Amino acid sequence: MSDSFDVIVVGSGPAGYVCAIRCAQLGLKTAVIERNVASNDQPQLGGTCLNVGCIPSKALLDSSQRYAEAASHLSVHGIGVSGVSLDIAGMMARKEKIVSQLTGGVSGLLKANGITVINGAATLNAGRQVEVSSAGSGNQAYRADHVVLAAGSEPAAIPPAPVDGDRVVDSTGALCFDAVPQRLGVIGAGVIGLELGSVWARLGSEVMMLEAMDQFLPNMDEQIAVESAKIFAKQGLDIRLGARVTNVRVSGDYVEVTYSQGDTTEKARFDRLIVAVGRSPRTAGLFSADSGVTADERGFIFVNDYCATEAPGVWAVGDIVRGPMLAHKGSEEGVMVAERIHGKSAQLNYEVIPSIIYTHPEVAAVGKTEQELKAEGVNYKAGTFPFAAIGRALASGETEGMVKILSDADSDQILGAHVVGPSAADLVQQIVIAIEMAASTEDLQLMVFGHPTMSEAVHEAALAVDGRAVHMVNRTK
């Protein structure tokens, strides 16, 4: 038996490394096990988020938006630009530099907190024994008083569209194109598909998105989803709902996709195809049958409200447990588990976790949707306010979208907020704080918001809940 630890964390993504750092801060002897290896033969820290997910995709989203603005959107500001060129290699190099900087930062934080980093594939066995296998050092066994499983997720696959890493790629491959596809197909019009489709559409691709669901963004507030669909259509994204892919055939330099819409069978030809149908928990081989840990048929580990598994002293956090696959959700679960291991009564309010789509404009939400409140029979009030009536938005040329706030009709407590528009992610965070503090729309109405700011849309939407918006004509309720 090799070293023993107070806590072993399996996985170094946002859920894992944050949990490990908090454990170390609390004085616990902590180790992190990471299976992936970077190009320098060191453990590839940071998980999907830092390496092939959140961070690189946002780097490309930002770069592509700047290119689109320079190429065609600055004349309205009286700025003439000619000869705009696209350097894909330079764009990718910038992305990799950002990833390297952040993963290096995680390495430095783990080292500064005295955390042991072990490279290899981990399997949890009975009695909280963790067996680690690696190409360089074979198998080694470790034991801990507590084990936190934070193995993350991987792109989901569908049988009709096998990924070949060339013409047909998953979300990871879509971050590494060396040229802009003339025609790009995307299977899935969810968060990942929309973000990746947006990147390449801005850079010049003709993008068609095939979404099997009949409703666009079904988990979002319906009014916001409808508004978002209109905006994306204006941007040139060809989103086809109820389109179920039945066959994908690669032939030379193109990909032929067969899909059905209702009773009709259609075919489309693309230069590249992205399969973006969601993500699956990475739990295969993570724990043995005698470990005491159990999972459902999709591979999600069973945990209670505090992320404790059915095995004593074993916890699971992040993408491998119930709830949305969001880096910030996993990080906060990691903190909660670290606190509970140390004997504190920490908990996480799962009702107040924001969701964000980093398109342009952004789409963001927190709390209940209007359709959920209707289904639950809640007596509610709703207020919306368009960015077109916000001075700062007009000055910036960012007038598409709206802010929507929902509250309890009796208590006035805020129940949800939904935004499509400029700075949506940051504006929703204001409502996250409000809901967490059990604020009412009246509380927002009485606050002073700076002028001119995008935040004024939040203030006006809160006023609109009671038919009191100042900078638009209120509808009679």
Residues involved in catalysis: 451
Beta carbons within 10 angstroms of residue 131's beta carbon: 15
CA-to-CA dists, residue 378 to 225, 240, 443, angstroms: 21, 33, 21
Residue from 400, 417, 405 nearest 359 by CA: 400
Mutual angle of helices 54-68 and 88-112, in 10-degree steps: 150
The closest of 10, 14, 12, 51 to 283, measured between CA atoms, is 10
Q: How far is the CA of 142 from the CAs of 26, 32, 129, 133, 289, in angstroms?
A: 21, 11, 6, 11, 18
Looking only at the bridges linking them, the beta strands covering 183-187 and 355-357 are unpaired
Residue closest to 445 by CA, chosen among 453, 437, 434: 434
The token pair that represents 441 in the structure block: 């729309």
Whose tokens are 């509250």? That residue is: 407
CA separation, residue 313 to residues 124, 129, 131, 146 (Å): 12, 11, 16, 5
Closest CA to 21 of 125, 177, 150, 175: 150
